[in-house]
Amino acid sequence: MDPSTFIDPNLTEPDLLVLKDLLHDASADRQHEKKGKDSAGARNRGKSTQNGSFQAEPEDTIQKLKALNNAQAAEFEPTVFVTWDMKDLAKLPSVLNKLLQAYIAFGRQIVRVETDVVMLTHLILYFTTSVPSALYLFQPGNFTWIHGILHWIMQSYYVGTYTLMMHQHIHMGGILKKSLWWFDGLFPYITNPLMGHTWNSYYYHHVKHHHVEGNGPDDLSSTIRYQRDELVDFLCYVGRFFFFIWAELPLYFLRKGKTGMAARAAFWEIGNYVVLVLLWKYVNWRATLCVFVLPLLQLRVGLMVGNWGQHAFVDEVDPNSDFRSSITLIDVPSNRFCYNDGYHTSHHLNPLRHWREHPVSLLQQKERYAAEHALVFRNIDYIMITVRLIRKDYGYLAKCLVPMGDQTGMSMDERAEMLRRKTRRFSEKDVKAKF
């Protein structure tokens, strides 16, 4: 598969619309360079392309994306499952389709945003699989290693989607109707530890710390002081978070004069560890290992692998820009299964933006993205970006780049070199000068 030409058939419809729009612009820009025509003419829309397909007007695409998100529009489509879209579900037998429509109608009354029926779907999934399985493992005489390991594997499969559902939860103050505030506030205390999250730590680290510092010098998960294509630097980065975040986060809040927040962050993090120790020592250490400890250790590594990929490319000229210190991915794992997590630049531009709004926001601001030299990739996720960087495979990363603005005129080698420059470590002199 050539990542520079392959279009994944499993992309969501919004991703497909965005990708085709950006690729059309890139092609038009290249034609403009060759023929010397003005940019507006080069980007003429609403006509058949050379291969006979029809390229919609940009505004038409934006309006279509808005309609998909608008519960009052005839074209509205809620997300019900991550694997199947509404067009796939329309093929169900009539009896099943009636049941599905009844469930969707019910779900739209339960979730806070009517597009998010999928979050109710997943809450039902977790409370009918993860929770009963964990309880069973802790019952005297029930534990077996086969069940324990299979439980951990199941949680490993769930954790990406769950974490990004909680990402929406912590930014928006919940995912269910406000009348269900009691359950919306309670369920994370049950499900978070099962997925490897310590109580409330994601909120304090991500919302109250990471989005305040924005990958800058005071961000405990900042990548700027690391050479982002070196294995040793990567291991140091992961190791620091893995072993010391429990202390560093409260100390960060103390340095910022936020004593109450420091106390709460320390209480929930250390309190979670105390509960695990008690369960290990006095209840069932084997069940504690499979149900809580292994997911915790795994997620701590996974979070930093992902964050490394999200903030590996930092502009050497203007590293403070959200356009230039984060990236956008148009890929299946990030956007279909993880609530548009690939639109990381859009998220940093507006942390309160609903996940379904990211694709339309990108198209509305694509000229600004291009002017700011923002990076958009396809056919790769954050984990594989990290892997390709450690392997210094800039050629492959260049093929994954969806060129915008000045990038369209670059050769593959020039794009690879441009990406290499953006992974350079910032010295303390650079940090003082740039931030």
Residue 423 lies inside a defined structural domain of this protein = yes
- Structure confidence by residue, pLDDT tens digits, 260-280: 999 999 999 999 999 999 999
Residue 117 lies inside a defined structural domain of this protein = no
pLDDT score at 144? 98
Structure tokens at 241: 């978070």
pLDDT exceeds 50 at position 235: yes
pLDDT exceeds 70 at position 40: no
The model carries a pTM of 0.93
Domain that holds residue 405: 1-33+58-77+312-435
Residue 4 lies inside a defined structural domain of this protein = yes
Residue 365 lies inside a defined structural domain of this protein = yes
pLDDT score at 39? 47
Maximum alpha-carbon separation in the chain: 77
- Structure confidence by residue, pLDDT tens digits, 64-119: 999 999 999 999 999 999 999 999 999 999 999 999 999 999 999 999 999 999 99
**Backbone φ, ψ for residue 270 (5° rounding):** -70, -35
Question: 262 in the Ramachandran plot: left (φ > 0), alpha (ψ -120 to 50) or beta?
Answer: alpha
Average pLDDT in the 304-309 region?
96
The angle that helices 145-172 and 181-195 make with each other, rounded to 10 degrees, is 140
Residue 378 lies inside a defined structural domain of this protein = yes
Cα separation, 203 vs 265, in Å, equals 9
What's the chain's average pLDDT? 94
b/e 95-134 (16+ beta carbons within 10 angstroms → b):
eeeeebeeebeebbebbbbbbbbbbbbbbeebeeebeebb
Residue 318 lies inside a defined structural domain of this protein = yes
**HEC per residue, the chain:** CCCCCCCCCCCCHHHHHHHHHHHHHHHHHHHHHHHCCCHHHHCCCCCECCCCCECCCHHHHHHHHHHHHCCCCCCCCCCCCCCCCHHHHCCCCHHHHHHHHHHHHHHHHHECCCCCHHHHHHHHHHHHCHHHHHHHHHCCCCCCHHHHHHHHHHHHHHHHHHHHHHHHHHHHCCCECHHHHHHHHHHHHHHHHHHCCCCCHHHHHHHHHHHHHCCCCCCCCCCCCCCCCCHHHHHHHHHHHHHHHHHHHHHHHHHCCCHHHHHHHHHHHHHHHHHHHHHHHHCCHHHHHHHHHHHHHHHHHHHHHHHHHHCCCCCCCCCCCHHHHCEEEECHHHHCCCCCCCEHHHHHHCCCCCHHHHHHHHHHCHHHHHHCCCEEEECCCHHHHHHHHHCCCHHHHHHHECCCHHHHHCCHHHHHHHHHHCCCCCCHHHHHHHC
Average pLDDT in the 170-179 region?
97
Average pLDDT in the 204-221 region?
97
User: Percentage of the chain with pLDDT > 70?
Assistant: 95
Residue 362 lies inside a defined structural domain of this protein = yes
- How many independent structural domains does the chain possess? 1
- Structure confidence by residue, pLDDT tens digits, 320-370: 999 999 999 999 999 999 999 999 999 999 999 999 999 999 999 999 999
Residue 325 lies inside a defined structural domain of this protein = yes
Do 315 and 215 meet the contact criterion of CB atoms below 8 Å apart?
Answer: no
pLDDT exceeds 90 at position 373: yes
